[in-house]
Amino acid sequence: MNNKIVVIDDEAQIRRMLKVALSSDGYVVTGCGTGQEGITAVARQQPDLVILDLGLPDLDGQDVLKAIREWSRVPVIVLSVRDHESMKVLALDEGAQDYVTKPFSIIELLARVRACLRDLSSSPESPIKTDGKLSIDLSARRVCLGENTIEFTPKEYNVLALLSKSPNRVVTQSQILQQVWGPGHEDDTHYLRIIISHIRQKLGDDPLQPTYVITEPGVGYRFCLDQVSDESLSG
């Protein structure tokens, strides 16, 4: 069955463009021009993914996101002209899986859509994340790069494990700090930067062009795997 996507955007031209691009990739697309229309479509259709603009004529997109999150965990990609870091952080903290700023590359957006749906379709029970080279076994708390086991401090491992549980999606700095360091540490970003630096060094990641741990400036970090799969380390 083809994945269903609801696009909530008040610009008819963007809805048409996205419908053509997404339909050509095999998705079933419904376009909505208002927030209330979008909420109703999500409730009725139970789509696999939502693309949401923040600047809607009747409701603010953040309120639409909150309304959807009251009863659904459907992946939401925010697509908005609002490019301020605080807007991105708020949307991600409210439950969006990703944030793409207008004007945008349709190729990049399609890649983000595939990443969200791939993550959705993978088994949530599997404790192993791997791209064939790097393997993170969450049950054994073991990280292997090729044939070598990498040793991490507890804080380093906890940050890496948290990021790997949401592969290819942005996790905000405040989310990481709160979950790893605890409440009251949301502003201690310097600790996080040090830990991220150590993780990259141990993974052999170039700090200027990292492969695995990507910085979203002022927002958070994205853990990238070319192919997320469920494998055993002995396979």
Residue 136 makes CB contacts below 8 A (sequence gap 6+) with 128, 129, 130, 142, 143, 160, 161, 164
Per-residue model confidence as pLDDT tens digits over 87-97: 899 999 888 99
**For the segment 100-130, what is each residue's pLDDT rounded down to a tens digit?**
998 889 999 999 999 888 876 654 446 788 8
Furthest-apart CA atoms within the chain: distance in Å = 55
- 3-state DSSP of the chain: CCCEEEEECCCHHHHHHHHHHHHHCCCEEEEECCHHHHHHHHHHHCCCEEEECCECCCCEHHHHHHHHHCCCCCCEEEEECCCCHHHHHHHHHCCCCEEEECCCCHHHHHHHHHHHHHHHHCCCCCCEEECCCEEEECCCCEEEECCEEECCCHHHHHHHHHHHCCCCCEEEHHHHHHHHCCCCCCCCHHHHHHHHHHHHHHHCCCCCCCCCEEEECCCEEEECCCCCECCCCCC
Is the pLDDT at 203 greater than 80? The verdict is yes
Taking phi over 0 as left and psi of -120 to 50 as alpha, with beta for the rest, 218 belongs to left
pLDDT of residue 233: 34
pLDDT, tens digit (0-9, with 9 covering 90-100), for 18-49: 999 999 999 999 999 999 999 999 999 999 99
pLDDT, tens only, 58-70:
999 999 999 998 8
Q: CATH for 128-223?
A: 1.10.10.10
Whether the pLDDT of residue 136 is over 50: the answer is: yes
Helices 61-69 and 35-45 pack at an angle, to 10 degrees, of 20
pTM for the full predicted model: 0.70
Q: Phi-psi category of 182—alpha, beta or left, where left has phi over 0 and alpha has psi -120 to 50?
A: left
Question: Is there a contact between 193 and 181 (Cβ–Cβ < 8 Å)?
Answer: no
Q: Could you tell me the pLDDT band of residue 167, with boundaries at 50, 70 and 90? A: confident
**CATH 1.10.10.10 intervals, the chain:** 128-223
Q: 219 and 209 in contact (C-beta within 8 Å)?
A: no
- The CATH architecture assigned to 4-121 reads 3-Layer(aba) Sandwich (3.40)
Write out the residue limits of the CATH 3.40.50.2300 domain(s) in the chain: 4-121
The count of other CB atoms within 10 Å of the CB of residue 230 is 12
Q: Any residues with CB less than 8 A from the CB of 106 and at least 6 apart, and which?
A: 17, 18, 21
On the question of pLDDT at 228 being above 60, the answer is no
Four-point Cα dihedral 142, 148, 153, 155, nearest 10: -60
Tokens coding 1: 């069955």
